[in-house]
Structure 1
């Protein structure tokens, strides 16, 4: 608890005094922190103006940033998160607040067992209604995708891509098309240096059980809790594989719509979050996963690195942040389709520092900060220096 309070105070100091206007005269920058009534941070809350297809999400420390036009000052800003009542405030009123924080009130839910279906029935209905509950017409996802290569407990290489993806949502097994529009890499200090055969955003779709399909009969289903999201009661359903109970799927399913708002998987230690668009359709908002594996190095490297064994604990840490969703096909702007099947770190994309300096990203997550701190400690130089030295 003390840790969360300290993070909150740091976030409040960071955003504290006044809102900041962006350098562009017709824009304002909203920034702040989302907390609950007990002053605990609320991670991954959806913040935006649904009627204008504008929005972002708070990071894992509750912080957020959102760039808006001055013409949006009279619009209603909505903040929602699983387990809390949706909060609404006019953009101008938020800017006028002295303390830049959003306090969400817990939505107490106690579902009557009499009214509840069998747990497996909720999953069955949710799978059946995916097409109706999700954005299943062709749309463009603009996202930041990060991957850190962790070896012996430390990030030794990081690559970030700005992706433009054409998708039909979880009604199809894979993405339709993809462009790596922008790229930047850190210096590379890997000694295991394991490659992956495809861009790892493709793996994100491949591990999604809703996209790929699964047999309900292979799992033992149970209700483990209840909560709410944006006015709808949610039941939390856990499915454990009958042959291997350590493998599980946890689904957060709407009682009325059977929409799937959140999904947690034992597979690759994965999380998927979805939020509603203007029409109430669910679309991907955030994803992370942290799979670990054993890497093997040569005896020569072991001696050089002064390690006790040639077996090295490794991990690939992934994070995908959807920045915007475009539903109007006339506004799709994918140009260079990247069909090459290669490791994410091996794509040759021209570095554009101006893009990374001006793009409106949410505040850095703990995931990102740890990777940056590790890389800076290895090389002894700021991450920006590495970007400028390594990228061409």
Structure 2
């Protein structure tokens, strides 16, 4: 089917959905820790027995649109280590803040009672991996979600994309490269004011095309290269480094791709990671293990084509349900560990932290589906003034020179209907998040999105203003 025909059908579907969901209730508030009175970030806010939900931002705030047909259902606000707050949707008061009380289970009691259960962090994780086939989806599904892609230095935003996306996955038992794909449905914002030295991307592009490993950017002259060629190279580099396919089909999709060749969470996981049981918390009235991730005997290598992406050690946390061994949340960081990677990371990025990943899962019909993804990585750019003489540091601003990219995805709907899935698969899919699309006001009026923190919202507004001035 031609793309134009697909867009026409998609437009009709969006129109019908808009009419059916036009009548909605907006729930908004701030969630706090009762003991510290500090805002709770990343608390889950959802309607029970549905896939309608969101999370709180860095300020503890959230906004959630709930269709009228769910007004009598239960709103749940939960966070690992806290007692859940539950109330009917139609009784929720937007004017009163929500406070959650801490809730921790007794680790000694758990270990004493559970004589036949694994007791060490390593054994608990191995059991959880054995249960992946039971806990992850075993049939095809679609997920609707909201993507925010942003690139910034420590001072300001340089690049922002906000999109509505659809994810298709045939099941966790299949190859993600062949049976997992993404479509960009709508674009809300797309601003690009990066001061990127395009010759670096162009050099990498030429090396990729011609396999000329000796080519260097300093040997190229900008005035001899057509702008169209540079744009093509930059787009190639964007997709190579920040494309959604990398995030979903690569090694960092730790659970979904655990059966892939050379996966990070494969049968040899303990050669690259060690796991230590820290404590047992409570999540929505269920006990959950909190397990520390640390380095093991082998370095972690991502084997990214065209990029030295190896020589790391892992840090972070896993949260695993006590009753089913389903993994609820992953907090995972890859830090430079080998001498080569340490030198490379410090020189190019001014940090040893190369990959920061957070994935939370939601349980729906006894299976765990991705709910929220946060991925942060430094970006290779060459901007600003870099001094060659130690005496001339006054004009060098590291806060402007070093960039990093963040991709956040909030999934707001799960579709299991086989007819809808089959119809969607017959359409043409496009995972390019970098190409702008016309703004659809009625669509976004009824679509759940991620609420930014007040600090970052100001930076986004500043980027929007600068982008408008730049275009004029």
Shorter chain as denominator, the TM-score bin is 0.7 to 0.9
SS at match of 2:87: strand
Q: Which residue of 2 aligns with 1:200?
A: 243
1:216 CA drift (Å) = 2.1
Q: Is 2:394 the partner of 1:351? A: no
Query: Given the alignment, which residue of 405, 424, 428 partners 1:337?
Result: 428
- Whether contact under 8 Å (2:22, 2:446) holds in the other structure is no
> How far apart, CA to CA, are the structure 2 residues paired with 1:293 and 1:184?
24
| Within-5 A mapping of 1:342-381 | 344-345=433-434, 347-365=435-453, 368-369=456-457, 371-376=459-464, 378-379=466-467
1:118-170 CA distances to partner (integer Å, 9 max, x unpaired)? Answer: 21111111111112223332111111112112246432111122111112465
- Whether contact under 8 Å (1:145, 1:201) holds in the other structure is no
- Is the strand fraction higher in 1 or 2? 1
Structure 2 residues without counterparts, runs of 5 or longer: 1-20, 202-236, 259-264, 300-311, 335-354, 389-393
Query: Given the alignment, which residue of 30, 33, 37 partners 1:33?
Result: 30
1:59 CA drift (Å) = 2.6
4+ aligned runs moved over 6 Å, structure 1: none
Q: Is 2:320 the partner of 1:275? A: no
> How far apart, CA to CA, are the structure 1 residues paired with 2:162 and 2:76?
29
| Within-5 A mapping of 1:185-196 | 185-192=189-196, 195-196=237-238
Q: Which residue of 1 aligns with 2:332?
A: 265
RMSD of the TM alignment (CA)?
3.3
- Whether contact under 8 Å (1:47, 1:78) holds in the other structure is yes
1:259-294 CA distances to partner (integer Å, 9 max, x unpaired)? Answer: 1011011131111111222x2322111111221144
- Whether contact under 8 Å (1:158, 1:371) holds in the other structure is no
Q: Is 2:187 the partner of 1:183? A: yes
> How far apart, CA to CA, are the structure 2 residues paired with 1:173 and 1:308?
47
1:243-269 CA distances to partner (integer Å, 9 max, x unpaired)? Answer: 358423521111221010110111311
SS at match of 2:106: coil
- Whether contact under 8 Å (1:236, 1:252) holds in the other structure is yes
TM-score by length of 1: 0.77
The higher radius of gyration belongs to 2
> How far apart, CA to CA, are the structure 2 residues paired with 1:103 and 1:36?
6
TM-score by length of 2: 0.65
- Whether contact under 8 Å (2:385, 2:396) holds in the other structure is no
> How far apart, CA to CA, are the structure 1 residues paired with 2:413 and 2:94?
29
1:360-381 CA distances to partner (integer Å, 9 max, x unpaired)? Answer: 3343346852640451464576
Structure 1 residues without counterparts, runs of 5 or longer: 1-23
Q: Which residue of 1 aligns with 2:4?
A: none
Aligned length: 351
> How far apart, CA to CA, are the structure 1 residues paired with 2:370 and 2:454?
21
1:320 CA drift (Å) = 0.8
Q: Which residue of 2 aligns with 1:93?
A: 91
